[in-house]
Amino acid sequence: MKDDGRPLFVQIAEEIASAVVDGTYPEETQVPSSNELAAFHRINPATAAKGLNQLVSEGVLYKRRGIGMFVAEGARTRLLERRREDFARQYIAPLVIEARKIGIDPEQLKKMIDVWGDDR
Amino acid sequence: MSATVAAMHGVTKRYSDVTALDDVTFALQENRIHGLLGRNGAGKTTAMQILTAQNVATSGAAEIFGERPYENARVLARTCFIRESLKYPDDYKARHVLTAASHVYPHWDRAFADRLVEEFALPVDRACKKLSRGQHSVVGVIIGLASRAPLTFFDEPYLGLDAVARQMFYDHLLADFAENPRTVVLSTHLIDEVSDLIEHVVLIDKGRVLIDEEAEALRGRAITVTGPVESVERFARGHVELHREQLGGFLRVTLSGVQPASAEPNLQFEPVSLQQLVVRTTQQNSGARLEKEVLS
Amino acid sequence: MTAATVHPDPDTAFSSTDRVLAAARLSTVALRSRLGGAWVILTAIFVVHQAIWWVIRANVGAEETGYTGALASFYFIVASTSLAVMTQVMPFALSLGITRRHFYIGTSLLVAAETLFSAVVLTLLLQIERWTGGWGLGVQFFEMGFMGQPNLFLQVLAYWVPLMTISFLFLAIGAVFRRWGQTGVWAVCIGLLVVVAAIVMYLTWQNAWLSFGRFFVETPTILLLAGYPLILAALSVAGGYLVLRRAQP
């Protein structure tokens, strides 16, 4: 797993969450068990379980006793919304700050985004 | 919080010329994988030997399963202590050793042992004195894994194994641990390899416990800050410093208990792996530091 | 923050008998290589012995009966395997969670059983030797000379107890090795020699050699072979155990 200082269980949770967002795990499908995740990533099963439980407490997954963990209804929508907020905090805020430092105000910034956005 | 399965209370072990353990106290919870880390000669083996009654403390108390281990068949029957230096009877063949172990452990998994023999390609009909160092380690690993002993100690048992075999050991350990939970204590100085496996870290250096924490809490506990000397010094002020390196006008400092500050443009922040954290902490302990608390 | 302590769960409790048996089985797994070696050597000595006496008979004629101490060397080879058990198997046993006490008991019982079995086989071979008139050559290999016993039961005892006693002694020496290493073994051997020397000096000083000799002649051989050695056997077992209690693997 990545050595970026984030707890392993957080990385596990984010990986599953990303898979929910990009449609790999549609709602009401089963996600890998903690033992499977542990074996695959070569980490302690307790850590993998903690990651899954984190998603349960966030309402992304729910547990079916004796079967496993399943993607909750509306999980994708909730995750996308949270990701939008994170995106703003992580990218937009520093972008505006950085732009201001070199003399670009938000209006100019919007024009730049349009230009760069068209090129794609 | 799960129950304690093994503990040391103020254990000191003194030999005529050296103190192997100095007032060591820690507790291990059951059904977790614990990492007992430290340099060679730090005291890890002595600690495990005292816990398994192979050695006796000079002062202090050790207990496993709530009882003193010395000559205590009831609790010792639930332990297995595999260490690299263990010599098997010279003329025994490898399969004799495995059969002998199978007689001792009631939960011995014969099918598992056979599978491991095949995967590690152990020559079972070869006499123990003729085994290579790696094969010798494989015997120990197989015993430790197949014994299903509720409290299993692995004292650097894989020193003779190459990286591929070591990875096989970790994979089997994890898989078996997931299906059949037990308490595993892994002592090693190959920290990078096991940092994702262990849940609880006990770092021993020169007979003292330097770290006794959850592995997860230690990830991200420390960061490295690199940049111009003045900026770094300013940032580092007031924080616990583990290490510093300077090259000309640039300073790199390892700090503990600090979060990266995105508002500092000059500074570069890097996470510190468990191995680096352990190395820095140990190095710091070697320096003439008087404080006992190394990490805040 | 204190957590509860795990106690050994009673479902998987096992008895002392199981542990003692397990300790003994640690030594039996490689039985063939361990004891087999001793019997192979005995057979080799026997064959060579027969060959030598056959040649002698062929040249010299039927005069003296052959009698060698080959049996003694067999005894010491068997006993030395006990030494190996203590020096090599004991550390292994300890790492598998067997207590020193159970290991000592299990190994001692095993030694007693193995030596008894050897004694029975030796007695059978002795019978065959007698029936074949000394293997057709008038040769005595298994015969104990003036120490021979009138019946089979006593004969087995006569073979068994000395063999067992020497083995127990070697077990105890093995325990000394585990506790105090090579130096300890030297110290014990020198100590024993000193004791023997002291006894010899005492007997000389007291002019007691005659009574000493008379004691040997007058005491029934069965007591000499299977009686008094038991004292030494018991001392070895007790002493060895006390020494082992504090030994580190």
Q: How far apart are CA B51 and CA B56, in angstroms?
A: 9
The nearest CA of chain A is from the CA of B260 a distance in Å of 11
Which residue in the set B4, B71, B147 is minimally distant from C100, CB to CB? B71
**Which residues from C are below 8 Å from B149, CB to CB?**
97
Place of tokens 């070869």: B126
Query: pLDDT grade, residue A70 (50/70/90)?
Result: very high
Q: Which of B1, B197, B254, B256 to mutate to test the interface with A (most CBs of A within 10 A)?
A: B197
Tell me the pLDDT tens digit for each residue of C126-147.
888 888 877 776 667 777 666 6
- At residue C68, φ and ψ (nearest 5 deg) are -125, 165
Place of tokens 């805020």: A93
Torsion angle in degrees (nearest 10) through CA of A56, A62, A65, A69: -90
Task: Indicate the burial class of C124 (C-beta count within 10 angstroms; 0-12, 13-18, 19 or more).
Answer: middle
User: Can you give the pLDDT at residue C67?
Assistant: 54
User: Can you give the pLDDT at residue B289?
Assistant: 47
Give the angle subtended at the CA of B22 by the CAs of B19 and B23, to the nearest 5°. Answer: 155
Residue A118 CB-half CA count within 13 A: 5
Give the angle subtended at the CA of B94 by the CAs of B93 and B98, to the nearest 5°. Answer: 120
- The answer to whether A70 touches A31, Cβ cutoff 8 Å, is yes
Place of tokens 């012995």: C49
Which segments of chain B have a pLDDT < 50?
288-296
The nearest CA of chain C is from the CA of B68 a distance in Å of 12
Which residue in the set C5, C21, C29 is minimally distant from B99, CB to CB? C29
C neighbours by CB contacts (3+ pairs under 8 Å): B
From edge to edge, which strands make up the β-sheet containing B250-256?
B240-247, B250-256, B222-228, B268-271
User: Can you give the pLDDT at residue B288?
Assistant: 47
C28 strand-pairing partners = none
Residue count of chain B: 296
Distance of CA B97 to the CA centre of its chain: 25
Query: By C-alpha distance, which of C8, C12, C28, C10 is closest to C20?
Result: C28
**Which residues from A are below 8 Å from B170, CB to CB?**
42
- The answer to whether C102 touches C23, Cβ cutoff 8 Å, is yes
Query: By C-alpha distance, which of B151, B138, B129 is closest to B81?
Result: B151
Q: How far apart are the first and last CA of chain B?
A: 23
Residue C138 CB partners (closer than 8 Å, separation 6+)? C57, C62, C65, C66
User: Can you give the pLDDT at residue A120?
Assistant: 59
Query: By C-alpha distance, which of B248, B100, B239, B178 is closest to C95?
Result: B100
The nearest CA of chain B is from the CA of A38 a distance in Å of 8
CB contact under 8 A, A3 and B198: no
Average pLDDT per consecutive 10 residues, chain C (249 residues; last block may be shorter):
70 76 86 74 79 72 56 80 88 92 93 90 86 74 69 85 92 92 91 89 81 77 81 92 87
Q: Which residue from A minimizes the CA distance to B270?
A: A4
CB contact under 8 A, C22 and B91: no
- The answer to whether B184 touches B147, Cβ cutoff 8 Å, is no
Query: By C-alpha distance, which of B112, B39, B35, B49 is closest to B79?
Result: B49
Percent of chain A residues topping a pLDDT of 70: 95
Tell me the pLDDT tens digit for each residue of A21-60.
988 999 999 999 999 999 999 999 999 999 999 999 999 9
Q: How far apart are CA C6 and CA B66, in angstroms?
A: 6
Q: Which of A33, A44, A89, A92 to mutate to test the interface with B (most CBs of B within 10 A)?
A: A44
Q: Taking the domains of chain A in order of start, what are their residue ranges?
A: 8-73, 76-119
Which residue in the set B177, B196, B198 is minimally distant from A42, CB to CB? B196
Q: For the structural domain made of B4-217, what CATH number should be given?
A: 3.40.50.300
Residue B154, token pair as written in the block: 């692995």
Query: By C-alpha distance, which of B273, B242, B274, B270 is closest to B256?
Result: B242
B neighbours by CB contacts (3+ pairs under 8 Å): A, C
Fold exhibited by the domain A8-73: Arc Repressor Mutant, subunit A (1.10.10)
- The answer to whether B160 touches B132, Cβ cutoff 8 Å, is yes
Q: Taking the domains of chain B in order of start, what are their residue ranges?
A: 4-217, 222-271
User: Can you give the pLDDT at residue C247?
Assistant: 86
Q: Which residue from C minimizes the CA distance to B78?
A: C97
Helix (H, G, I), strand (E, B) or coil at B140: helix
**Which residues from B are below 8 Å from A94, CB to CB?**
262
**Which residues from B are below 8 Å from C101, CB to CB?**
71, 73
Give the angle subtended at the CA of A34 by the CAs of A29 and A40, to the nearest 5°. Answer: 100
Place of tokens 């230690």: B218
User: Can you give the pLDDT at residue C64?
Assistant: 52
Scan residues 24-83 of B and list those with Cβ closer than 8 Å to A: 32-33
Helix (H, G, I), strand (E, B) or coil at B207: coil
A neighbours by CB contacts (3+ pairs under 8 Å): B
**Which residues from B are below 8 Å from C92, CB to CB?**
86-89, 97, 100
Q: C245 CB near a chain B CB, below 8 Å?
A: yes
For β-strands C66-67 and A61-64, DSSP reports them as: unpaired
Q: Provide the residue type at B206 as one letter.
A: K
**Which residues from C are below 8 Å from B102, CB to CB?**
none
Interface A:B, ≥3 CB–CB pairs < 8 Å: yes
